[in-house]
A and B are shown apart, each in its own frame.
Chain A
């Protein structure tokens, strides 16, 4: 019995390790990824403000898999779900009994002309490091932070960088030299209404001006202006926006995703629609859930458990309920959170407290062993 996992990020790794813990010896689990370095992505935000570093959030993929999981460094070009075959770059073919696609999401800079080279962000480690250098040298001026690409992973990240940059400049005693604005395409700074109330209050307290109905259309690097579809423009000295995202190339090559490259799956069992033995988890799906590590984690657990049950002749009984937790770091040891699942009609508005910040800290520390190891 062969279980193939494409993508060794959070979803793929947690799935493989969780299944390996209970699966019988004759089940072969292989994870294929083109990179042999695994990153703790929530750490990118802290690299951007200088509170973490590359070494602290990376680990070789040879170390993170349990016994019983084989890691192969290779690039997958195409999957054939009907034939149950996967083609690697170079032509090699792999067949499978179960397939889990956890290819995540990639940057789609072309979606916003002028984005690349003019907009800073922290959605890749290199860009986070670059942003940190700029932040360190920043002497004052107009800082524009907010939502650039409309589809992006980690919905709360733009809020976090806004609050943490505010904190950073305050700590350096230069906050009055910085004019901070937060741009959002909606008529309020942030989506979920009750949570938005908390966000608005906090932005007011910190003198961050929300600019609403601002859907980024393009960026003019020469005149340092970001221009919206609604016809407005803002000057910037430092521009930090979420980049547009799309699905991995492999999804497009295989014709299994929608026009943005996200794969349609069953919302509870996560199997690719039309297939019983192929699943997709994490950013790669088109489910109406935020693209976050927590979602990938829970989805991975659901699929690992269900495959385990099926291998043992039982019915699949684990259901994914869309549960997501996003802690919103706000600096000063305070955090709020965005919480949602399939059954909520409204996300709650959590007042920033120390408890939530500490919960996030605990999670950071438990990440490599308990979470990636598939134990919880």
Chain B
């Protein structure tokens, strides 16, 4: 046996590689410790499968055009993460107000509400319009 080891270690390159391996042993042990926790549960295979799916998703669908579109949309939704808007949103959820027809008329005189209503209506229009094309494909 020692003869075989001698043969391996007589090559300087192998000695170097082995030294590097020893240096990494602590890290490798840490990784193995963690992975060991999953052995027998079948989870490693599942997790690898999920990682693969994520990778496939990124490769297949994260095209420049899609990122551009998503970013453009996000750029217009920044109001959602402004602290002022967030606190007003909270107030809206906390409010105990209810609107009947008269109350509705009153609220609709507010220019901000009018602007919001216009946006929501336009969103409805997009949904209605695009849904027509989507439906015809699905028939």
* Contact between A and B in the complex (any CB pair below 8 Å): yes
Interface residue ranges, A against B (CB under 8 Å):
59, 63-64, 66-67, 294, 298, 301, 305, 318, 323, 325, 337, 339, 348, 350-356, 359, 368-369, 372-373, 376
Interface contact A355-B137, CB-CB below 8 Å? no
Question: Does B138 belong to the interface (CB within 8 Å)?
Answer: yes
Q: Verify A305–B65 contact, CB threshold 8 A.
A: yes
B138 to chain A, nearest CB (A): 6
Chain B contacts for A348, CB-based, 8 A:
52
24 inter-chain pairs at a CB distance below 8 angstroms, sorted by A residue, are: A63-B136, A63-B137, A64-B137, A294-B60, A305-B65, A323-B59, A325-B56, A325-B60, A337-B52, A348-B52, A351-B45, A352-B45, A353-B46, A353-B48, A354-B46, A355-B46, A355-B52, A356-B49, A356-B53, A359-B56, A368-B137, A369-B138, A376-B61, A376-B66
Q: Which residues of A contact B56 (CB under 8 A)?
A: 325, 337, 339, 359
CB nearest to A301 among chain B residues: B63
Report, as a range, how many residues of chain B touch the other chain.
20 to 34
Residues of B within 8 A of A337 (CB): 52, 56
A residues in contact with B59, CB < 8 Å: 323
Chain B residues numbered 95-134 whose CB sits less than 8 Å from any CB in chain A:
133-134
Report how many A-B pairs have Cβ atoms within 8 Å: 57
User: Does the CB pair B137–A373 fall under 8 Å?
Assistant: yes
Q: Is A359 a contact of B65 with CB atoms below 8 Å?
A: no
B50 close to chain A: CB less than 8 A: yes
In this complex, what residue of A is CB-closest to B57?
Answer: A359
Q: Which residues of B contact A (CB under 8 A)?
A: 45-46, 48-50, 52-53, 56, 59-61, 63-66, 133-134, 136-139
Structural contact, B53 and A372, CB atoms closer than 8 A: no
For B50, the chain A residues whose CB sits under 8 A away are 355
Residues of B near A372 (CB, < 8 A) are 137
Given contacts A301-B63, A325-B60, A376-B61, whether A356 and B137 have CB atoms under 8 Å apart is no
B134 and A355 contact, CB distance less than 8 A: no
Contacts of B49 in A (CB 8 A): 350-351, 353-356
Residue of A nearest to B52 (CB): A350
User: Once the chains are docked, how many angstroms separate the CA of A64 from the CA of B139?
Assistant: 10
- Main SS class of interface, B: helix
Q: Is the CB of B138 within 8 A of A368?
A: yes
Contacts of B139 in A (CB 8 A): 59, 63
Give the CA-CA distance A67 to B138 in the complex, in Å: 15
Check B60 against A376 for contact (C-beta < 8 Å).
yes
In the complex, A353 Cα to B136 Cα: how many Å?
A: 34
Residue of B nearest to A297 (CB): B60
Contact A359 B46 (CB under 8 A): no
Contact A369 to B45, CB < 8 A, known contacts A301-B63, A323-B60, A355-B50:
no
**Smallest beta-carbon distance A290→chain B, Å:** 15
Expressed in whole angstroms, the Cα–Cα distance for A46 and B45 within the complex equals 26
Cβ contact within 8 Å between A298 and B60: yes
Complex Cα spacing A318 to B59, Å: 14
Residue in B closest to A369 when the chains form the complex, CB atoms: B137
The answer to whether B61 touches A351, judged by C-beta atoms less than 8 angstroms apart, is no
Q: Is the CB of A369 within 8 A of B60?
A: no
Chain A residues near B46 (CB-CB < 8 A): 353-355
**Chain A to chain B: the 6 pairs with minimum beta-carbon distance, closest first:** A353-B49, A355-B49, A351-B45, A369-B137, A376-B61, A359-B53
Distance to closest chain A CB from B49 (angstroms): 3
Q: Which partner residue on chain A sits nearest B66 by CB separation? A: A376
Provide the bound-state CA to CA distance between A325 and B85, in Å.
44
**Across the interface, which residues of A come within 8 angstroms of B53, CB to CB?**
355-356, 359
The residues of A that contact B60 with a CB separation of less than 8 Å are 294, 298, 323, 325, 376
Residues of A within 8 A of B64 (CB): 305, 318
Instruction: Tell me the complex Cα distance, A163–B134, Å.
Output: 35
Q: CA–CA, A356 to B57, complex, Å?
A: 12
Contact (Cβ within 8 A) B134 A356: no
Nearest B residue (CB) for A358: B53
- Contacts beyond the supplied A369-B138, A373-B137: 16 A-B pairs with Cβ under 8 Å: A63-B137, A67-B133, A298-B60, A305-B64, A323-B59, A337-B56, A348-B52, A353-B49, A354-B46, A355-B46, A355-B49, A359-B56, A368-B137, A368-B138, A369-B137, A376-B66
Partner of B48, one of A64, A325, A350: A350
The distance in angstroms between the C-alpha atoms of A355 and B51, with both chains bound, is: 10
Closest CB-CB distance, B96 to chain A, in whole Å?
A: 42
